A and B are shown apart, each in its own frame.
Chain A
Amino acid sequence: MAGFLLSVHVVAAIVFVGSVTVAVSLFPRYARLALEEETAAPALPAVHLLHRISRVYAVLALAVPVFGIAVGSALGVLGEPWVLVSMALTLAAGLLLGGVVLPRQRQLLQLAEGGPAPTSAAAALVAPTTRQADAAVLVRRLAMASGTFNLLWAVVVVLMILRPGSTTGV
């Protein structure tokens, strides 16, 4: 049974989390293009799609920790340090994705569509150049948060493979 649960866990991690990591790392680049006057028209659909992939696959990626905990409990390894550290890092990555990356993506999407300014209502009244500068700062911060998110996932995957301190010997 642990084999079945582990298969679901790994397939979900590759398909769902993998898609999210690719989408969040591409988003800042296309957001930058969508905020430029000349390149906005071709880049905007891509930004929409990347945000949609990030959002939808992030929800589906919830299957990864759920099935991961099920595998851990089936194998009796839930108390091992590498599992506990992985769970903490996964929680951190999930909070970063849901609390920082996805909301900032939505802000930039609204900004690229010419919607309300992201920082405050007053910012909507300032000159377009200032708004673009604000957007550039937002894109940089989003790129940093996305990079941190991907790094956290990479660390979790390495922990899953190396399993430092594992007592099962596999």
Chain B
Amino acid sequence: MQTRWLTVAAAVETASLVLLLTNLATVHLPAVASALGPVHGFCYLVVIVLAWQLPVPTRVRLRALVPAIGGLLVLRLWHRAASRPASPPPRTS
């Protein structure tokens, strides 16, 4: 399955940012921030690289650059294109 690792990286990308912001808004532990910050940054980069390897138009790949939800955006367009292989994915924005 081509998008297995992209799915994992996209989930961690978004989840780690949610946890980071929750931490910031509530207890604000510096240890949590410095552990999760690099994890989020790593997943952001991995999502971009993995999205670039997918056989999709550059327009779809560029969605991976969107912070926080880039991976989820690419996956949504990917699944939409897979369910309708004849037509290109419609513009959403």
Contact = CB atoms under 8 A, between A and B. Distances in A.
A70 B46 CA distance: 17
B34 A70 contact: yes
B42 A63 contact: yes
A5 B39 CA distance: 10
A67 interface: yes
Nearest to A12: B42
Question: Which one of A5, A62, A69, A98 has the greatest number of beta carbons of chain B within 10 Å?
Answer: A62
Interface residues of B, number: 12
A1 interface: yes
Interface in B4-55: 30-31, 34-35, 37-38, 41-42, 45-46, 49-50
B27 to A, nearest CB: 15
Contact of A5 (B38, B45, B46, B49): B38
Contacts of A98: 49
Given A1-B30, A1-B31, A62 B37 contact: no
Interface residues of A, number: 13
Nearest to B32: A1
Nearest to A68: B38
A30 B35 CA distance: 40
Interface in A30-74: 59, 62-63, 66-67, 69-70, 74
Interface string B37-75: 110011001100110000000000000000000000000
What 4 pairs between A and B have smallest CB-CB spacing? A70-B38, A66-B41, A66-B42, A62-B45
Interface of B: 30-31, 34-35, 37-38, 41-42, 45-46, 49-50
Interface of A: 1, 4-5, 8, 59, 62-63, 66-67, 69-70, 74, 98
Given A70-B37, A98-B49, 4 more contacts: A59-B49, A62-B49, A66-B38, A66-B42
